[in-house]
Amino acid sequence: MNMISKLYKIFQKTIDILLFLLLTVTVISISVQVFTRFVLFYSVSWTEELARYCFIYMVFLGACVGVRDGKQIVLDVIDNFLKGEKAKKTLEIFQYGTQIVAVCLLMWSSIAFLPFGLRQNSIALPILMSTIYICLPIGYGLILLESVIKVVQWKSSL
């Protein structure tokens, strides 16, 4: 196993651990909110916001994992009509190429959106909204990385 493969495995494991931690924080904060609201009859405002922000990060990290595992949304109507393995692989590389172009456009527009968050604070938590908005380019960058890795793996399998 070469150094790049080892780094990629560490990267995958880090994403999985981050997803687990975000899910844990989400469940705990929602549980605290439910407990305080229905047992103590007092609502804690920051727990709902924390859960929402963790969920947003989970969506983008989960999309990265979906691309890694080949579980992203695709239209497989054309796939069902193709007979040969080479034709299916060519269509797959076209799909990843289209995905790379779309993700690059989304990442570029999300980077342009970041300065707006520098002037805005979160309502209940003491953080800048750019901390939340940064999940967009991070998520799109990770999806882009996984898509490029898929294309490189496909080319090396020829």
pLDDT band at 111 (very low <50, low <70, confident <90, very high): very high
SS3 for the chain, per residue?
CCHHHHHHHHHHHHHHHHHHHHHHHHHHHHHHHHHHHHCCCCCCHHHHHHHHHHHHHHHHHHHHHHHHCCCCCCCCHHHHHCCCHHHHHHHHHHHHHHHHHHHHHHHHHHHHHHHHHCCCECCCCCCEHHHHHCHHHHHHHHHHHHHHHHHHHHHHCC
Higher pLDDT, 149 or 23: 23
The token pair at 35 is 């407990």
Average pLDDT of span 45-67: 94
pLDDT exceeds 90 at position 154: no
Q: What residues contact residue 30 under an 8 Å CB cut-off, 6+ apart?
A: 47, 48, 51
- Please write the tens of the pLDDT for every residue from 66-110: 999 988 777 777 777 788 888 888 888 888 889 999 999 999 999
Q: What residues contact residue 22 under an 8 Å CB cut-off, 6+ apart?
A: 54, 55, 57, 58, 61
